[in-house]
Amino acid sequence: MRSGRVTALQIRGTPVNVARCCSSPLIAAQGMAPAPAELRTFRDWIVGCDNGRACEAVALLPEDADWEQWTTFSLSRGPQAEARLDLVFADLTDSPASLWADGSRLDVRFATANDGLAVVPADEDAFVSVLRQAGTLELRDAAGEVIKRVSLSGASAAMLYLDEQQRRLGSVTALVDRGPRPAAAIPAPPVLPRVTLAPAAGEGPPEIGASEIAELRGQNGCTIDEVGGPDEHEVAQIAPGTTLILLACGTGAYNLSSLPFIARREGGRLTAEIAPFDSQWGLSDLGRPTLINAFWDAGSRLLRELSKGRGIGDCGTHATYGWDGRRFRLVEQEEMGECRGSMDYIFTWRSEIVRP
């Protein structure tokens, strides 16, 4: 399968028809807007950190590689000075008979993890030293046959970048640039922003008539004649007296675009405005938020979107928003900017959720 890099435009999908749009304010200008970090690619590795300095580096499948022969691998570390490493081979459930690096057998043991096989903590330091120097890892079976390979091209640069972002350069905890600085010299991580959700609705959504949906489509350039369908919408009561309408407004091969509205019924009349967000991610050329593959998660009381860079979902962006009574606030965002086999998305923004 072909690999490649996904751009912001590709992730978000094809823009909807923007011939007409409401004039409601779209971004609440209270406080600083969230600023998810950018991912960095170093050859066959991609790395990123969230706003609390938790970081992850992922080994991708090499360009134009036979996907049956290669697998992905992740290295993640929390921001605390003494945080341990999580070293996980993705999509593997059975331990290989042996692990080799550039033709040499390694004395590394594995433990089962939720998303694959993890290197046991006692073997982490020795394994990281291999990541800094070797070119390829091989997982072999009892007969010595190669099960999977992992590319280490770019691993050292990715780990150095991770050290830099976590302020570990020159410290005893660094992965690459290890030095005499004590762990106590590493600054504490930033405090994550808090998102306090509005009270639970306590009742179901009001009835939204077909004529009201048709009027909403006509007012916002989302008629079926304009965008070609599908003729779908989702309605959810997200807080007392507050209804979310997700109005389908165009689709691509694997991404459905929706406009989010906050609706209230007053004296029998439905009023609906484009929902305000604290994040500018996903704004179209006219400045209105367009969500991709979005749905309301009633269990967690969060709005989720899952943008795909391509159909198999190995690149794109996942974002989660919480309604605080005035606007949707970005709670989490995780991304994978390279379409090269990894289903392990990297967090670039996190918040602490408070549920009243």
- Predicted confidence (pLDDT) per residue in 100-129, tens digit: 999 999 999 999 887 789 999 999 999 999
Q: Which phi-psi region, left, alpha or beta, contains residue 64 (left: φ > 0; alpha: ψ -120 to 50)?
A: left
- Please tell me whether residues 113 and 151 are part of one structural domain: yes
- Please tell me whether residues 294 and 262 are part of one structural domain: yes
- Please tell me whether residues 88 and 46 are part of one structural domain: yes
- Predicted model pTM: 0.89
Q: Report mean pLDDT in 10-residue bins for the chain, 356 residues.
A: 45 28 36 88 98 98 92 97 95 87 94 88 94 95 95 98 98 96 97 97 87 96 94 96 96 93 89 90 68 96 96 96 97 97 97 96
Q: What is the CA radius of gyration of the chain?
A: 23
Residue 61 and residue 54 in contact, taking contact as beta carbons nearer than 8 Å: no
- Please tell me whether residues 165 and 225 are part of one structural domain: no
- Please tell me whether residues 171 and 199 are part of one structural domain: no
Q: How many separate domains does the chain show?
A: 2
Of 140, 161, 185, which marks where a domain is finished? 185
Q: Which phi-psi region, left, alpha or beta, contains residue 144 (left: φ > 0; alpha: ψ -120 to 50)?
A: left
Interval 37-77: pLDDT, tens? 999 999 999 999 999 999 999 999 999 889 899 999 999 99
Of 139, 160, 185, which marks where a domain is finished? 185
- Please tell me whether residues 20 and 140 are part of one structural domain: no
